[in-house]
């Protein structure tokens, strides 16, 4: 006579099977098929700038997708230079930070892994002062970046090289601290050029600034905003990491399908009431920059490795694939969460 397996025994077999593969593919969470509610987990999470790169994260939070996956997420704005140390120290569990800063840290031995990529292409245009009409006019001028080795620094150097300029000889690159400081510096005249993006670029162009080089339209791969977590945390909390990535994939799906929702989210985080500017920012980021499937890919880090590797042997020789874990996004995609 054939026996029927008990529910607890069946679940134990499933759990053992997942664990036997290294836990790389988690069971569905927060879905209609869940057999029991998952206890909520509190997470401190950081993002590096008030820029549209972070829109998928903000949309996930505001859309309630973390809560649907039993995650109690508190967001904080911590610049990338401090965001990487914050996640290493356990001050935050997940950090949305620049891929270049992450690469430098991991190549130096940091216990970090990139599990997703919120912005995998350059979202920048190089804005210049009104009196700079040609590439030659840019020679000898001051160009602002957030910090040395940051995503904006890598993007600036890539743009300058593509225009035929030597970033170390033809211009003076100044670290100004943030994208907001970069915009303020351009308006004040303390710098004459800098990479920008909506809505800041709209503000600059209203004051006579103009685009000298457009990186964004070329959709060149870039590790602009990486989702970073400690490797040791993944080992002990694969289910939590999966729920976090699941939430992001669901948030991106809602974001791309609902412009009104996306604009509302942007207004909140930019503290703006400008429908036109927020609409343009939504169109740029939600539709052009944000990928439906936020896979982190080695080619996104190529420019960072080439630039930073010129002065850092550890970065130059580092195997990028060792810092990426795409299994969590792959699991979400396999279960159709992006559809």
Q: Is the pLDDT of residue 7 over 90?
A: no
Is residue 323 within 8 Å of residue 229, measured between CB atoms? no
Phi, psi (rounded to 5 degrees) for 79: -55, 150
Residues present in the chain in total = 339
Name the burial class of residue 261, with classes exposed (0-12), middle (13-18) and buried (19+) by CB atoms within 10 angstroms of its CB. middle
CA 199, CA 267: separation in Å to the nearest integer? 11
Nearest to 306 by CA among 324, 321, 318, 323: 318
pLDDT score for 2:
36
The two tokens of residue 51 are: 């820029």
**Per-residue pLDDT tens over the stretch 32-46:** 444 567 789 999 999
Q: Work out the percent of the chain whose per-residue pLDDT is above 70.
A: 89
Is residue 56 within 8 Å of residue 117, measured between CB atoms? no
Nearest to 51 by CA among 108, 96, 113: 96
Residue 103: pLDDT band (50, 70, 90) is very high
Residue 8: pLDDT band (50, 70, 90) is very low
Give the class (CATH, top level) of 39-120+222-334. Answer: alpha beta
**Per-residue pLDDT tens over the stretch 288-300:** 999 999 999 999 9
**Per-residue pLDDT tens over the stretch 273-284:** 999 999 999 999
Dihedral sign, Cα of residue 53, residue 54, residue 57, residue 61: negative
**Per-residue pLDDT tens over the stretch 203-261:** 999 999 999 999 988 999 999 999 999 999 999 999 999 999 999 999 999 999 999 99
CA 42, CA 173: separation in Å to the nearest integer? 40
Compute the mean pLDDT over every residue in the chain, rounded to the nearest whole number. Answer: 90
Give the class (CATH, top level) of 125-218. Answer: alpha beta
Global confidence as pTM: 0.85
Q: Categorise residue 175: left if φ over 0, alpha if ψ from -120 to 50, beta otherwise.
A: beta
* Domain residue limits, the chain: 39-120+222-334, 125-218
The two tokens of residue 223 are: 């590790």
Strand order in the sheet with 193-196: 172-175, 142-145, 193-196, 125-128, 210-214
Q: Work out the percent of the chain whose per-residue pLDDT is above 90.
A: 82
């Amino acid at each position: 006579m054939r026996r029927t397996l008990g529910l607890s025994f069946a679940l134990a077999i499933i759990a053992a099977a997942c664990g036997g593969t290294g836990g790389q593919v988690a069971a569905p969470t927060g879905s209609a098929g869940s057999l029991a509610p998952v206890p909520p987990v509190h997470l401190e999470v950081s993002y590096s700038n008030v820029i549209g790169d972070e829109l998928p994260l903000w949309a996930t939070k505001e859309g309630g997708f973390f809560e649907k996956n039993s995650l109690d997420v508190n967001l904080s704005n911590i610049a990338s230079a401090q965001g990487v140390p914050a996640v290493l120290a356990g001050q935050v569990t997940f950090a949305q930070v620049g891929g270049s800063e992450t690469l430098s840290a991991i190549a130096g031995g940091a216990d970090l892994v990139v599990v997703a990529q919120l912005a995998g292409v350059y979202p920048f245009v190089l804005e210049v002062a009104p009196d700079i009409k040609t590439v030659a006019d840019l020679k000898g001028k001051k160009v602002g970046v957030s910090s040395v080795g940051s995503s904006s620094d890598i993007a600036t150097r890539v743009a300058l090289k593509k225009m035929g300029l030597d970033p170390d000889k033809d211009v003076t690159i100044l670290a100004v601290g943030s994208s907001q400081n970069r915009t303020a510096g351009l308006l004040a005249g303390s710098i004459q050029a800098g990479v920008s993006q909506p809505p800041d670029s709209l503000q600059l162009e209203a004051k006579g600034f103009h685009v000298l080089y457009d990186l964004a339209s070329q959709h060149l791969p870039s590790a602009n905003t990486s989702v970073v977590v400690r490797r040791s945390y993944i080992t002990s909390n694969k289910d939590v990491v999966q729920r976090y990535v699941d939430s992001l994939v669901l948030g991106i799906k809602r974001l791309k399908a609902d412009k009104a929702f996306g604009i509302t989210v942007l207004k909140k985080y930019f503290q703006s009431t400008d429908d036109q500017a927020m609409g343009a920012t939504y169109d740029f980021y939600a539709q052009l920059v944000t990928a439906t499937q936020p896979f982190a890919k080695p080619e996104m880090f190529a420019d960072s490795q080439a630039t930073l590797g010129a002065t850092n042997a550890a970065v130059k020789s580092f195997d990028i694939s060792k810092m990426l874990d795409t299994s969590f996004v792959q699991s979400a995609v396999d279960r159709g969460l992006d559809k």
